[in-house]
Amino acid sequence: MLSPLDHLARQLARLPGIGPRSARRMVLHMLKKREGVMYPLIDSMTRAAEQVKECTTCGNLGGSDPCELCTDRTRDPTLLCVVESVADLWAMERARVFRGRYHVLGGTLSALDGVRPADLRIDKLLTRANDAGVKEVILALNATVEGQTTAHYLAERLVPIGVSVTRLAHGLPVGGELDHLDDGTLAAALLARRQAG
């Protein structure tokens, strides 16, 4: 029978990015500061577990359904940005450059991990692209095998609907130096070149 302390440490160690050593440190820190850290954390976790919902429109997480982004009238409803996860949506929002709407797929296609088209929010995406006056779908997926395979799959399914399908450019990072780029990235940057003047 595990002690409550070991049980908590083991639960924390199951979280992404947390190892057993970090988990034990967190437990000790919380127990040392029960009033200031532990009880407020319990309260926050309870409220998040009870109140945070998945938006049935876009798949984002928020306090309401539809979420704040889907109901924001200042956002352009003709632009739809497809991301793999809510973490990627947050990354896009941090950049503050996109003012359209989002669609969270909930993963990427992976035969090895058993993720098939039916496991992702693809049908919902096709419905949104068809119905909601969407003019452009931006595929903001990772440059991994799974991300690019999924982008290819989505493009093939979206083009017949008649929307413009684009994807994020691959190439020279901001502040990057050509001399330090690998050949593949340089080739991608060259292919994605733009008119300079």
Q: Is 13 in the site for another protein (CB under 8 A)?
A: yes
* CB-based contacts of 122, cutoff 8 Å, min separation 6: 105, 154, 157
Select from 66, 126, 157, 189 the one that contacts another protein (CB under 8 A).
157
* CB-based contacts of 120, cutoff 8 Å, min separation 6: 105, 106, 107, 108, 109, 150
**Of the candidates 117, 96, 94, 90, the residue with the CA atom closest to the CA atom of residue 106:** 117
Rg (the chain; Cα; Å):
21
User: Please, which residues bridge with residue 165 across strands?
Assistant: 137
Q: Is 111 in the site for another protein (CB under 8 A)?
A: yes
Q: Is 187 in the site for another protein (CB under 8 A)?
A: yes
Q: Which residue has the tokens 């793999």?
A: 84
Site for another protein in 112-151 (CB under 8 A): 112, 117, 144-146, 148-151
Which of 80, 109 has the CB closer to another protein?
A: 109
Q: Is 162 in the site for another protein (CB under 8 A)?
A: no
Select from 35, 94, 183, 196 the one that contacts another protein (CB under 8 A).
183
Q: Is 81 in the site for another protein (CB under 8 A)?
A: no
Select from 85, 110, 142, 166 the one that contacts another protein (CB under 8 A).
110
- Whole-number Å distance between alpha carbons of 188 and 57: 34
Q: How many residues bind another protein (CB under 8 A)?
A: 25
- Catalog residues that contact another protein under the rule CB under 8 A: 13, 19-21, 109-112, 117, 144-146, 148-153, 156-157, 179, 182-184, 187
